[in-house]
Amino acid sequence: MEVNTMKRIILIEKIIPAFIFFSLWLDGSILPLILFPILYVLLVEKKSLGWLGFSSIGLKNLFLFGLLIAFVLVVVYYPVFLMYLPHMLEGGAIDLYTIFLDVFHYPVYEEIAYRSFALSHFADLEKSPRSRQNLLVNLFQSVLFVSMHKHHFNAPLFLVPVFLLGLLNGVLFLKTRNVYGCIFSHSILNSSALLLRHALAVSW
């Protein structure tokens, strides 16, 4: 009986979530798809949104941490941007749809998928972010996060701030168990990249 119960727990809390995460990794372009892992946690695992890191506790500190992460990454991003400036300016005009994707869609989708859902299921949330298991899980989700940014493969140094975003937001989530700071830092970084691209396109 205990063996069957353990198998069921592993199936519900590890195996199926792994398939869900894999499906999110395969296609991050459909925003409603992010409802799938949220509904799975609520309806199948019978856990709350708070377990996924949706909590209003300590939002001020979370936003400060998110702002700090974004600032560090903008500093890393800027020289890389200048290095690939002609390539970046080929992207064309920045329209409202691009702003929606970069400032809202990608931060929400990717932070829920890679930090909230993945780390909640595969990291040990009772241990420090520096524990062996959490370091490996955080590193793994950061590498997968990089791998979905295929549009940067022809400008590979852009993958450095992308990797750091995944890694630092992973640490932030593991330390705070809150996804809002991660979404905020991601959105600020993407917004800064758009503003930088627009400013240099105008002056170029």
Residue-wise pLDDT for 172-200, tens only, equals 999 999 999 999 999 999 999 999 888 87
CA 155 vs. chain centroid, Å, equals 20
Instruction: Return the half-sphere exposure (C-beta side, CA atoms, 13 A cut-off) of residue 194.
Output: 18
In whole angstroms, give the CA distance from residue 183 to residue 201. 27
Range of the domain at 31: 2-203
Which residues make Cβ contacts (< 8 Å) with residue 198, sequence separation at least 6?
94
- Residue 185 burial (C-beta neighbours within 10 Å; 0-12, 13-18, 19+): buried
Number of domains in the chain: 1
Letter for the amino acid at 190?
Answer: N
Q: What is the pLDDT of residues 26-79, one digit of tens each?
A: 865 666 788 889 999 999 999 999 999 999 999 999 999 999 999 999 999 999
Global confidence as pTM: 0.92
In whole angstroms, give the CA distance from residue 146 to residue 139. 11
Q: What is the pLDDT of residues 83-119, one digit of tens each?
A: 887 777 676 678 899 899 999 999 999 999 999 999 9
